[in-house]
Structure 1
Amino acid sequence: MPTHASPSAHPHSTRPRQRAPIRLLAGLLAPICLGFAGMSATLWALRQTPLPAGTFARSNTIAAADGQVLANWSTHGPVHREVPLSDIPRALQEATLAVEDTGFYRHHALSLTALARALWVDVAHGRVVEGGSTITQQLAKNLFLSQDRTLWRKLREAGYALQLELHASKADILEKYLNVIYYGHGAYGVEAASELYFGKPVRQLSLAESALLAGLPKGPELYSPFRSFAAAKARQHQVLQRMVAAGFLTPAAAAEAYRQPLAIQPQPRLAPPAPYAVQVAMDEAKRRFHLTDAMLEQGGVRITTTVDPLLQKAAEQALATTLPARSHLQAALVAMDPKTGAILAMVGGRDYRESAYNRAFAMRQSGSTFKAILYAAALERGWSPAREVDSEETTFLYQDVGDEETSAQRRYTVHDFADMYAHRPLTLREALARSDNVYAVTANLEVGPQAVVRTARQMGISAPLAPYPSLALGVFPSSPLELATAYAALANGGMRVHAHTVARVSSPGGELRAPAPGRERALSEGSSFILTDLLTSVLKPGGTAYPVTRFLHGPAAAKTGTTDTDAWMVGYTPRVVCAVWVGYDDNRPLTRSESHLAAPIWGKFMGAAQQRLPGPWYTPPPGLVRATIDVSSGLLATPGCRSTETDYFLPGTEPTAFCPLHNTSVAPQPPNRPWWRRLWGA
C-alpha cells in the first residue's frame, strides 16, 4: 500500500501561495517608494538650488542731501519703508493669517485642501478662476512671477513656494510678505499702507485698523476706504469674523473692534518725493559708481543725492500753482548749484504718475535764452556793452555755410516780436532787457557764428548747432538741463560745471568711490561778471521779466525766451541757477497767456531759493573799468545827458570820448580806470 507524503515533503507545491502576498506587498510599496524617492530628490534639488539673488535682501535707499529718504527700491520692484516683523502688531499678523492662510504655520508651502478646492472650481469653469494660494505662494508670485492666470505660472509658483520654505523660516516669509504685498493707491507693504490710510506707523495700529488693512490685498480697489468706506467696513467685518473662526479673537472682542471709529486720512494727491530726480540719480549711480546688478540684488545700497528737499518742494509747488488746471500743458524745472553742478531740484513734468517722461532732458527751441550765450561770446571777443545797434527791421546779407569759394550771398530779414522796434540805437543792456532780435543777429554775424558755437560748446551746450544768422535767436533745440549748465558758467565766474545728482554711494561693504565732477574754464571772469550785471536789467522796469520781481527777495540775473511752441526763463543768483521750460509735448503752439507762464514759475522758485540760500551779490573782479554812458550815443555821459546807464568794461573796450549830443559847461569825469592805467596815462 503506497504511503502518502506529508505536505512538508512537497515544498514546491506551496510556493505560489507563499509568493503571492510578497508580490502584492511589493506592488503596493514600489510606487510609494518611488514616489517618496522622487519627492525626496525633488526636495533635495530645490534645497540645493538657491533662491533668486536678493530675495530676502535689504532694500536699497535713495536719500536727499539732508538724509531724508526719497525712495526705497529693490531689483524686484518698489519697496516702501520695510519694517521688521517685531514692529508689526500681532493683531495685523493674525488678521492677515485668518483671511489669507489660516494654516500658514502648519503646512509646508502648499495647502492640499485649498489646492483641491481651487482645482475643482477651475475645472468647473474651464479656466483658472481660483488660486488656492498660501501666503508663501503669494510671496513667490510677487517676488518672482507675473500676474498671469495660467497653469504654467501656478506650477512655477508652487516650485518657488517650496524653495522659499526650504530656505527661510516662517517668520522671514511672513515678514517679507507683509512688506511687499500691495494695499492699493501705490502703497506696497504694511508701513506704507498704514501711513497712507491712517497717517501713522504700522506699530501704532489698533485691532480695528489692522483688520481693515488685512482685508485690502484681496481687492485693493474694491475695498479701498478712499473709494467706498462702506465696502471697507464690510470687508473689515469679514476679517474679524475669520479671526474669531481661527481662534484669534472672541466674538465680543471682534464686535468691540468693529464698533470702533476709524480715522481715515484724506487721499493724498502728491507723487512720491522728487520722482524725476530719483530716477536720474539711480541711473547716474549705476554709471558713475559702477554699481553692479549683484550689488543691487544684495541690497543695502544707499545713494545720497544732491537734492535739497525744501527747494524740491518749492519747485513742485511753483509748477502746481502756475500751470492751468485741466490742461495738457507741461513744464520742466532744473535748479543747480552753479559752483559745483549739483542738482538741487528737478521737476520733469506736471505729474509723474501720469507721465514719467523727464522733460528736463527734452530738446526744445531755446529762443532768446540763447542770447546770453551769444553775448558771452561777443564780450570774449572785444564787444563792448556800449556798442549800439539800430532797432528797426533789418535785412542782412551773409555768406551761407559751404559757399566760401563762391561770391553767393543770402538775405536774412530780422523782425522783433510783434514788430515792436525802438527805432533808435540800443546799447547791449537795453537790447538784453528788450530782447531785441536785430541787435542779436548783428552781434552774431560780426563776431562770427562759428565763434558763437565754440563758446556754446565751452559753456555746456552739446546739442547740434549750425553757424547760421538765426543761431542768435535760439532756433536750435537745447534742454533745460543744458541751459542751466550754460548759465552756471555765467553765475560762477566763467567755469564750466558738470551736472550731477549723486553726492555719494555706500554699500554694505563700505563707501564707493568715483571721480568728482570736474570744472573747466569756459569764459573769463570779467566777461561773466559783465554779462551778469547786464542781465539784471531783464528784471528791472522795462525788462521782459520785470513783473516776476514781486516774487523775489533780492537781485537776480535772468533771460526770458519765447518761440511759437516754447516759453523759457533761465536765471541765477550766486548760489543757484534755475531753468524753466513750458510747452506741449506735441509741439502745438502756445496761446498768448501760456507763453508767459515760465516767468512766474521761475520767480516763485527763485524767491524761495533766495530765502533758502541767501548770500551777498557779486563784486566786480579786479581790472574792470566802470563807466557811465549816454544811452543815445554810447559814449561817456556828461552832466547834461538825461538817459544814462552804468556799465562795466574789459580794459580797452570802454568808450573814451564824451557824448557830443548834450552840451554842458561842467567838465565831465573820466571813467574809473584801474590805477595802473591812470598812472601811465593809458
Structure 2
Amino acid sequence: MHRLVRSNRQGSRRGKLLLLKLLLVCALIATVAFGAFLYYLHQSDLPLAYSDRNSQLLSREGEAIAVFSSTDRSRSKVTLDHISPYLIQATLAVEDRQFYDHFGFDFKGMARAILVNLREMNKVQGASTLSQQLARNLYLSHERTWSRKIKEAMYTAQLEMKLEKDQILQMYLNEIYYGHGAYGIEAAAQMYFGKTAEQLSLAESAMLAGVPKGPTYYSPFNQMKNAKDRQRLVLNAMVETGHITEQQAEQAYDEILHFKSQKLRTIGDKAPYFRDYVRNVVINELGFDEGLLEHGGLNIYTTLDMEAQEAAELAVTNELKESPELEAALISIDPRSGHIKALVGGVNYKRSQYNHVFATARQPGSTFKPIMYLSALSSRKMTSASKFTSQPTLFHYDNNRKTYSPKNFGDKYLGEIDMRQAIAASDNIYAVNTILTVGADQVIELGRRMGISSPMSAVPSLALGTSPVSPFEMATAFGVISNQGKQVKPIAVLKITDDEGRVLYEAPSSAPEQVVEPAAAYVLTHLLESVFEAGGTGNRVSADIKRPVAGKTGTTSTDAWMVGFTPELSTAVWVGYDKGKMLGTAESRKAAPIFAKYTEKALEKVPPKIFPIPDGVVSVYLDPATGKLATEDCPDKKLEVFIEGTEPTEACDEHGHQEPEPVPVENKPETRSWWSDLKRWWMD
C-alpha cells in the first residue's frame, strides 16, 4: 500500500516537471518568435503615407461632381523648436501624458479606459497614444476591423523602433488635422489666428490642442461653445500635469481670442450647397470622421440628378440675374423614393455659403394652407364643396377671449365660395374659417406627420402660414400629398465606399408611412391643380408647364414661395432677402417662374403623367351656385371630386320644374386643357 502511494506521488511530480519543461519550451519558442517578429519589423520599411486622397461626391448616375477636401488645403511643416511650448504641452497633456515613457502603447491607459467603459457601459474613453494616432493617420484606412487594428499595432511598433520620440511628436503635429482644410499646427495657427505656430499663446494653444479630437464639433468657427468647453478641459489637463498653474489656466480661459476670418474654399465644384449638405449628413448624422472625409479617399454616392440640378441652378440664375441682393432656395425631392434630386441653397455660393433650403426663419404664407385643407378633408369635417363667405370678418377664439381680423390681399373679397375657389384665389377668410372648424392642434399634428419639425403655434393665423418653416420641410410635406398620402423620408446619401470599393455605409430601405388616406390626398391634389388654371394665383406661369401639376403660391411682406408637385417631383422655391428687406411687387412674383421653368426642364425627358386616382374617390357634377348635384336644367356645371361617402346627395332644385335628376358623370359639359380632359376621361 505504501509502495503504491509513493509510486503515485513520484508519477505526479514527474508529470508536473514535464508540464513545466513544456511551458518553458513554449515560452522560449514564443520569445524567439517574438524577437524574430520584432527584428522583421525593424528591418521592414514602413508603407507610403496613406493621406492626401480626396473623397469625392458622385451623382446618382455615378458622375464625380465635387470633392470634399479643400482645393486650397494648407499644410506647412515646422520643427519642434518652431512650435510654441504651450502647444506641445497642451497636446501631450490632453492626448498622451505618458508619451515619453511608453514604447508606443500605454497599457495602463488601456486598462483604465476599459474599466471606465465597462462602468459606463459605453465607449466614453479611449487610450490611443500619439504614436498609434500617427500610424493610423499615415498608413491606414478608417475601416473598423481586427486586421486594421493589427496593422496599426505593427506600424506603431515600427515608428517607435525607427524614430526618436521627438521625431514622432514632430511628425504628429505636422500631420494631424485641425479642420477646415488645415493639416498640421503651422497651417492651423495661420488659419485660425493669422500667426505662426511659434507665436501661439497659452490660450490659443489650448484652443487648438482641443480641435483634433473632433475638427467639426470643436471648431471655434462652427461650435464656439464646444470649443471653449474643450479649451477648459485642455487647460485643466495642463494644470494636472504641472505645466501651468490654476491661475494661468483661469486667465487663459478668460482671454478673448481674436480669430482670423474663416478662409473660403476655392469654388470649383458643382452643386456646392448640396456638397455642404452631404458633408453635414456624413459627419453629423452618419458619424464619419471629418478627417476621413477630407482625405480618406471615400466615394459618396448620392441621389443628386445632375440634369435636374443644372435645371434648378439655371432657373434661379436666369430669374434673379437682375436682382443682385435677392436670395433664393430650391429643393426638389422625388416623393416616391425620398431621393433629393436638386438643391440650390442660394444665388451665388461665392457671395454667401448660407444654405437657405434649411433656413427655418421664413414664414410660408399661403403655401401652408394645403396642409390645413388636407386635415379638413381627411377628418371629414369639410369637403371640397364646403362654403364660407369671403368678407371682412372679426373672428373670436380661445373661448371668445381673443379676436383675430385677417384681410385678403388687395382687400378683395369673393362672397360665398367653396374650397376650390378659396385655394385658387388664396382666400384668407376661408382659410381661417377652416382652421377654426378643424382645430389648430389637429392641423399641427398632421403637419408633424407630413415632415414639419419647426415649431407651430396653435392660433388662427397658423392658417395663413405665420409659423416659420424651411423650404426643405415644405417640399417634404407636399411630397406626401403627391405620393397618395405616403411619406418617404428624404435621403441624399445612398452609399459610401472606401478607395478600394469596400462598402462602409449603405442607406437602409425606408418603408413608406401612410400619413393620410390616399383618397384625401388625391382630392386635395385635384383642388391644388386649380391654382394653375384661370383665376388661380399660379395661372400666369401655367403656359410654361406642359404637364399636370399642382401646388400653392405664398407671399408675405418679406418672403415669396411656390411649392408644388407632379407625380415625379415635389419642389419648394423660396425668394427673399437675407436682411428681411421688404419685397416689391415684381420681386414677390419671382418664385412661381423659377418653379415652372425648373419643373418643365427637369422633366423634359419624362412623358407627362396624370396623378393616379386611388380607390375611394368619386366624381360628381355640381351646380356652382348651390353646391348641390347638378341637373340637366342647371345653366352651369362643374366636375368635383370627393372622398367616397362625403359627396353631396341632394340634387339642385333651383332650375326647372320637374323632379331634379343629377347629371351623370359621363356627360362633359365643359372644355378644358388637354390634360384635364385626359384626366376626366381616366376618372370616367
Please give the TM-score of this superposition, normalised by the length of structure 2. 0.61
Distance 2:405 2:646 in 1: 29
How many residue pairs were aligned?
447
The corresponding residue for 1:64 is 59
The corresponding residue for 1:98 is none
Distance 1:152 1:463 in 2: 43
Aligned-partner SS, 1:635: coil
The corresponding residue for 2:600 is 607
Distance 1:509 1:324 in 2: 42
- Amino acid aligned to 2:315: A
Distance 2:591 2:443 in 1: 26
Distance 2:579 2:303 in 1: 32
The corresponding residue for 2:388 is 389
The corresponding residue for 2:289 is 292
The corresponding residue for 2:440 is 449
Distance 2:643 2:334 in 1: 27
The corresponding residue for 1:434 is 425
1:293 Cα deviation from its structure 2 partner = 4.5
1:521 Cα deviation from its structure 2 partner = 1.6
Question: Structure 2 regions of 5+ residues with no counterpart?
Answer: 1-42, 75-173, 201-265, 667-684
Question: Structure 1 regions of 5+ residues with no counterpart?
Answer: 1-46, 80-136, 156-268, 400-406, 674-682
The corresponding residue for 2:85 is none
Aligned-partner SS, 1:322: helix
1:549 Cα deviation from its structure 2 partner = 1.3
Distance 2:400 2:389 in 1: 26
CA gap of 1:465–1:59, structure 2 versus 1, over 3 A, is same
Superposed counterparts of 1:134-153, under 5 Å: 144=184, 145-146=186-187
- Amino acid aligned to 1:669: P
- Amino acid aligned to 1:355: S
Aligned-partner SS, 1:626: strand
The corresponding residue for 1:378 is 376
Q: Given the alignment, which residue of 355, 358, 376 partners 1:358?
A: 355
The corresponding residue for 1:410 is 402
The corresponding residue for 1:302 is 299
Task: Report the structure number with the largest CA radius of gyration.
Answer: 1
Aligned-partner SS, 2:494: strand
- Amino acid aligned to 1:375: Y
1:515 Cα deviation from its structure 2 partner = 2.8
Matched, 1:313 2:310: yes
Superposed counterparts of 1:110-121, under 5 Å: none
Distance 2:182 2:430 in 1: 63
The corresponding residue for 2:638 is 645
The corresponding residue for 1:467 is 458
CA gap of 1:69–1:470, structure 2 versus 1, over 3 A, is same
- Amino acid aligned to 1:325: E
Q: Given the alignment, which residue of 366, 369, 372 partners 1:368?
A: 366
1:305 Cα deviation from its structure 2 partner = 1.1
1:668 Cα deviation from its structure 2 partner = 2.8
Distance 1:279 1:586 in 2: 23
Kept in 2: contact 1:639–1:666 (CA 8 A): no
Matched, 1:272 2:269: yes
CA gap of 1:333–1:142, structure 2 versus 1, over 3 A, is closer
- Amino acid aligned to 1:437: N
- Amino acid aligned to 2:571: C
CA gap of 1:274–1:150, structure 2 versus 1, over 3 A, is closer
- Amino acid aligned to 1:397: H
The corresponding residue for 1:349 is 346
CA gap of 1:528–1:671, structure 2 versus 1, over 3 A, is farther
Q: Given the alignment, which residue of 543, 548, 552 partners 2:545?
A: 552
Distance 1:537 1:314 in 2: 25
More displaced 10-residue stretch of structure 1: 286-295 or 353-362: 286-295
The corresponding residue for 2:527 is 534
- Amino acid aligned to 2:517: S
- Amino acid aligned to 1:461: I
The corresponding residue for 2:414 is 422
1:566 Cα deviation from its structure 2 partner = 0.5
Kept in 2: contact 1:553–1:610 (CA 8 A): no
CA gap of 1:485–1:567, structure 2 versus 1, over 3 A, is same
Residues 406-433 of structure 1: per-residue CA shift (max 9 Å, x gap): x55222112111110112x111111110
The corresponding residue for 1:569 is 562
CA gap of 1:478–1:442, structure 2 versus 1, over 3 A, is same
The corresponding residue for 1:627 is 620
CA gap of 1:142–1:282, structure 2 versus 1, over 3 A, is closer
Distance 1:297 1:354 in 2: 23
Aligned-partner SS, 1:483: helix
Distance 2:606 2:532 in 1: 20
1:445 Cα deviation from its structure 2 partner = 0.3
RMSD of aligned alpha carbons = 3.1
- Amino acid aligned to 1:367: G
Kept in 1: contact 2:330–2:344 (CA 8 A): yes
Distance 2:429 2:300 in 1: 48
1:517 Cα deviation from its structure 2 partner = 4.0
Kept in 2: contact 1:576–1:609 (CA 8 A): no
CA gap of 1:544–1:326, structure 2 versus 1, over 3 A, is closer
Distance 1:556 1:278 in 2: 29
Q: Given the alignment, which residue of 68, 71, 86 partners 1:73?
A: 68
Distance 2:299 2:73 in 1: 15
CA gap of 1:643–1:327, structure 2 versus 1, over 3 A, is farther
CA gap of 1:78–1:369, structure 2 versus 1, over 3 A, is farther
Kept in 2: contact 1:557–1:573 (CA 8 A): yes
The corresponding residue for 1:504 is 495
Q: Given the alignment, which residue of 464, 467, 473 partners 1:482?
A: 473
Distance 2:547 2:297 in 1: 43
Kept in 1: contact 2:374–2:520 (CA 8 A): yes
CA gap of 1:78–1:341, structure 2 versus 1, over 3 A, is farther
Kept in 1: contact 2:315–2:594 (CA 8 A): yes
Residues 410-469 of structure 1: per-residue CA shift (max 9 Å, x gap): 22112111110112x111111110011111111100111111111111111111011111
Kept in 1: contact 2:630–2:663 (CA 8 A): no
1:324 Cα deviation from its structure 2 partner = 4.3
CA gap of 1:48–1:444, structure 2 versus 1, over 3 A, is farther
Aligned-partner SS, 2:562: strand
Distance 1:411 1:143 in 2: 61
